[in-house]
């Protein structure tokens, strides 16, 4: 059978309309609808994909990919049932978090991210001349939203102005984060006048908090200060990031071998994600300090298991409001 050029144009249009109405669809369904043989319909589909009028999935049902049109991306979730166990785990993780940093993932998940190309899209960030860090974004997260999340990530880690981050995520390779946490033992020497003054100023404040907290509501910072006092923890420095919501402390924790310096991230929020904990860990790693993460919020057992496996030296402490 000889097919004229005009007929080919009509067939391509018929295929396009069918995919737009029914996609994502298998090639065998398209072939049946059009009424030509599989080889010929495959050639027409290839042309439509090349012209970017329709798209082809990496994932397959059996041995066949799916064809879909722009705007049908959410329907690609039908491929989920055909993923392997680790791939499903990677799918669920990137869907939940939206943005993931590649080198913070367990090895098996890092491999799986590269196998679920329909759902995890890579974004590479250049740091200096030779250092590139990879992030994965959930395919339904917009590029702009992903760039904002990544800019915020580096802003938290490196204390860099957020507006500069939006224009170009860039820092010197000498600013690379340390991955190994080594507790810093602090030799207990007579306190300097400045340190003594700071600690002395805290005690009346904590005493006053304890006296009124029974009958009067307190903000979350006060709960944290009381926790420090009850555990004989000394505060070296304090930074209020957002009032009653996010705080950073540097503390000395007593131990059998001396006082150990910690970085503390305090988050007063209902739900804690892997991203919240990851940012705190990265800050402590940069300063070569163990991390204490204090929160009023809840987190999942899955997140806690991830923290235990991935963030060596991090202590998670929940203090209720």
Please state, in angstroms and rounded to a whole number, the distance separating the CA atoms of residues 74 and 55: 13
Condensed to tens digits (0 to 9), the pLDDT of residues 243-294 reads 888 999 999 988 776 788 899 999 999 888 888 888 888 888 888 888 999 9
All domains in the chain, ordered by first residue = 5-73 (1.10.10.10), 83-175 (1.10.10), 184-318 (3.40.1350)
**Token pair for 36:** 């030509």
Closest Cα partner for 127 from 69, 177, 53? 177
Mean pLDDT of 45-61: 91
pLDDT tens digits for range 115-132: 999 999 999 888 766 678
Cβ 11 vs Cβ 36: under 8 Å? yes
pTM of the model: 0.48
Rounded-to-10 torsion of CA 158, 163, 166, 170 = -40
Residues 175-225: tens digit of each pLDDT = 333 333 344 444 334 444 555 445 445 555 666 666 665 555 568 898 899
140 class by beta-carbon count within 10 Å (0-12 exposed, 13-18 middle, 19+ buried): middle
Omega cis (within 30) before 253: no
Confidence band for 159, pLDDT divided at 50, 70 and 90: low
Cβ 275 vs Cβ 157: under 8 Å: no
68 DSSP 8-state letter: E
Distance CA 65, CA 57 (A): 6
Of the listed ranges 26-40, 84-98, 147-161, 215-229, the least confidently predicted one is 147-161
The DSSP secondary-structure symbol of 245 reads: T
3 state SS of 224: helix
Whether residue 136 contacts residue 120, with contact meaning beta carbons closer than 8 Å, is answered with yes
């Amino acid at each position: 059978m000889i097919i004229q050029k005009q007929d080919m144009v009509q067939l391509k249009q018929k295929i396009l309309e069918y995919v737009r109405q029914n996609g994502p669809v298998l090639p065998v369904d398209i072939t049946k609808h059009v009424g030509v043989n599989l080889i010929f319909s495959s050639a027409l589909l290839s042309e439509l994909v090349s012209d970017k009028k329709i798209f082809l999935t990496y994932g397959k049902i059996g041995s066949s990919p799916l064809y879909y049109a722009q705007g049908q991306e959410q329907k690609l979730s039908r491929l989920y049932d055909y993923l392997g166990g680790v791939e499903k785990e990677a799918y669920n993780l990137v869907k939940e978090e939206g943005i993931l940093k590649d080198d913070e993932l367990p090895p098996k998940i890092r491999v799986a991210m590269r196998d679920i190309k329909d759902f995890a899209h890579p974004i590479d960030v250049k740091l200096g001349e030779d250092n590139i860090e990879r992030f994965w974004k959930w395919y339904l997260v917009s590029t702009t939203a992903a760039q904002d999340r990544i800019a915020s990530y580096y802003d938290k880690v490196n204390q860099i102005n957020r507006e500069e981050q939006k224009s170009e995520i860039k820092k010197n390779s000498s600013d690379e984060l340390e991955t190994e946490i080594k507790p810093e033992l602090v030799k207990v020497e007579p306190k300097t006048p400045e340190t003594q003054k700071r600690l002395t100023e805290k005690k009346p404040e904590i005493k006053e908090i304890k006296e009124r907290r029974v009958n009067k509501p307190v903000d979350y910072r006060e709960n944290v200060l009381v926790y420090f006092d009850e555990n004989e923890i000394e505060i070296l420095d304090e930074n209020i990031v957002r009032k009653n919501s996010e705080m950073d402390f540097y503390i000395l924790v007593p131990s059998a071998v001396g006082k150990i310096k910690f970085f503390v991230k305090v988050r007063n929020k209902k739900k804690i994600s892997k991203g919240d904990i990851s940012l705190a860990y990265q800050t402590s790693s940069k300063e070569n300090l163990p991390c204490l993460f204090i929160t009023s919020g809840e987190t999942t057992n899955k997140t806690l298991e991830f923290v235990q496996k991935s963030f060596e030296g991090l202590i998670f402490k929940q203090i209720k409001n």
